[in-house]
């Protein structure tokens, strides 16, 4: 009896296995080719090098000033720099007087409280202030931008994969949708095709156009140049102490090499007369 039950159980397993094999084979042979996905049209960031790249990299102050100009004249209308103070601009080569003027003339005022009445009011920014928020809150930001909230740019090169190269590619990468782009990936109302954006369609209109700003140093303000400059500026906003970090790193490395050499020579001196 036990043998019969064991045989039936084994036969059942074989039957289930055979059924699964047949169904799988039929599904494989009749399966349709998968359709295109957004990833098929997505581009990785273009290769670009910045003066600050590498262990010996240093910021190009002239480029940072151009990048700040692009931010001030174009990006600041929608994007904040929450973690940057006006006084930090002296690191870009601006004088204290120039920084004071930039803060005082900033189009967005700083919220404060009237000391006499206790009521909320606003005032012009001063050098010690951080860049004020563009919108009062996220709801206001979405309402002004087709329900898309413009992110703060302070740490953007750290927050996005491929960093500054991604921002450079995104800003300079707007183009018409390719002819073979499927309907489901076509930009809808209020969206713009950009192959460097994750889902191909972005709510931000192309922010840059040739000649949009006038550089004081005479550099031609092409879309590509402005994209590179503002990306370099945002590298600085994300890590303004990068040069100090690199200098400290090299000093520590040299010290460790010296200490290791000294320890090795001491070891040789102490144990030179000892037999192993």
Binding-site positions for heme c: 75, 78-79, 204
The binding site consists of: 75, 78-79, 204
Per the CB < 8 A criterion, the answer to whether 56 and 253 are in contact is no
Per the CB < 8 A criterion, the answer to whether 193 and 174 are in contact is yes
* H-helix or E-strand spanning residue 111: strand 110-113
Tokens found for residue 22: 């047949």
Q: Which residues contact 188 (CB under 8 A, 6 or more apart)?
A: 201
Chain position carrying tokens 């090098």: 49
Per the CB < 8 A criterion, the answer to whether 193 and 41 are in contact is no
Distances (CA, A) of 221 to 159, 166, 217, 225: 27, 20, 11, 6
Q: Which residues contact 199 (CB under 8 A, 6 or more apart)?
A: 38
CA dihedral 93, 96, 99, 105 (to 10 degrees): -150
Residues in the chain: 276
What is the rounded CA–CA span in Å between residue 197 and residue 52? Answer: 25
Tokens found for residue 105: 């003339």
Burial of 2 (0-12, 13-18, 19+ CB in 10 A): exposed
């Amino acid at each position: 009896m036990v043998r019969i039950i064991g045989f039936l159980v084994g036969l059942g397993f074989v039957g289930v296995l055979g059924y699964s094999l047949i169904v799988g084979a039929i599904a494989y042979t009749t399966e349709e080719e998968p359709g295109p996905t957004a990833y098929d049209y997505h581009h990785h960031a273009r290769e670009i090098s910045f003066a600050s790249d590498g262990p010996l990299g240093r910021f190009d102050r002239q480029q940072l000033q151009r990048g700040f100009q692009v931010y001030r004249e174009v990006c600041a209308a929608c994007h904040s720099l929450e973690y940057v103070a006006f006084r930090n601009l002296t690191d870009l080569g601006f004088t204290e007087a120039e920084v004071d003027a930039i803060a005082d003339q900033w189009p967005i005022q700083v919220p404060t409280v009237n000391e006499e009445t206790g009521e909320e009011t606003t005032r012009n920014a001063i050098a010690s202030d951080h860049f004020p928020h563009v919108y009062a809150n996220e709801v206001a930001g979405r309402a002004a931008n087709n329900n898309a909230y413009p992110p703060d740019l302070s740490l953007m090169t750290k927050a996005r994969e491929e960093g500054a190269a991604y921002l450079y590619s995104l800003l300079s990468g707007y183009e018409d949708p390719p002819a073979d782009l499927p309907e489901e990936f076509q930009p809808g109302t209020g969206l713009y095709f950009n192959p460097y954006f994750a889902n191909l369609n972005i709510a931000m209109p192309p922010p840059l156009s040739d000649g949009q700003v006038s550089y004081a140093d005479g550099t031609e303000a092409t879309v590509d140049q402005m994209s590179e400059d503002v990306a370099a500026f945002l590298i600085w906003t994300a890590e303004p102490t990068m040069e100090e970090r690199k200098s400290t790193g090299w000093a520590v490395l040299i010290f460790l090499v010296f200490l290791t050499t000294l320890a090795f020579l001491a070891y040789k001196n102490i144990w030179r007369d000892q037999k192993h």
